[in-house]
Homo-oligomer: A and B are copies of this chain.
């Protein structure tokens, strides 16, 4: 059984990105520039954005953080999005979610120029991904693909069961795992709250990708000997022994399941650290105009 070390992989990739950026700059190219809009003071969002800015430093990117109070109107936010769309110095940008209730997240996402949509949430990028065209792939699915390929995990012809059908993990993951390429070419099954046969599907899976947000949902009796298990769950469970007052809990009962696996990604330290790394990869692609001119 091998543990998939997302933290080490993410660090490795950021190092590779930094090397490429210095090479670009040394040859007179432009340093990639990521902008992030943060609305309000949600604790989780503050942390995520702070870590994104730090990752930009590690990668040698220029970064700009734009803050608004949560009293900002939708129109004001859309005006800022338009400004960033038109700013040639900004290669890519994100609007940190969630947004206050009076602002339509979907409207904001669709207002972002898809060529700068490094979060990969714009319908054009979602659609191009589904069709199999080059595009920005969103952070979590992108991170999982990277882990599968860095660990040389075979996916062709494998039965891949995805637990959860969210727009940010389950659906894109299904789409990616069935593409005609590596990682992909898998027989993909998507299970969710209305799947009476979920456990049975898991028992036959070569690869399980769990993204339902239900702590320790996947137990040993659901996992075949030799399976690959990717845990995307990150539920906050109260834990008075921690300074933060909580700990992250995955969808997989790790201690129970791990002995049966060929590969397993832990929580924390598996998929989590890969998400910001995916954003950095997309920002590099944006800087290089890799997908769009």
Contacts and interface: CB of A to CB of B under 8 A. Distances in A.
29 contacts: A106-B133, A123-B123, A123-B126, A123-B127, A123-B128, A127-B127, A127-B128, A130-B175, A131-B171, A132-B167, A156-B194, A157-B195, A157-B196, A159-B197, A165-B178, A171-B178, A174-B178, A174-B188, A175-B175, A178-B192, A185-B192, A187-B190, A187-B191, A187-B194, A187-B197, A187-B198, A187-B201, A188-B190, A197-B204
A285 interface: no
Main secondary structure of the interface of A (DSSP, over half): mixed
Contacts of A190: 174, 178, 187-189
Interface string A171-210: 1101100101000011111111011111001001000000
A122 interface: yes
Nearest to A188: B190
A157 B126 contact: no
A128 B171 CA distance: 12
Given A123-B124, A126-B127, 11 more contacts: A106-B133, A123-B126, A123-B127, A123-B131, A124-B124, A126-B131, A127-B130, A130-B167, A131-B167, A171-B178, A187-B197
A125 interface: yes
Interface of A: 106, 122-128, 130-133, 156-157, 159, 165, 167, 171-172, 174-175, 178, 180, 185-192, 194-198, 201, 204
A248 B130 CA distance: 29
A159 B180 CA distance: 23
A171 B167 contact: no
A192 B189 CA distance: 12
A113 to B, nearest CB: 13
A198 to B, nearest CB: 7
A84 B180 CA distance: 34
A180 B171 CA distance: 12
Contacts of A175: 130, 171, 175
A128 B191 CA distance: 21
Contacts of A106: 133
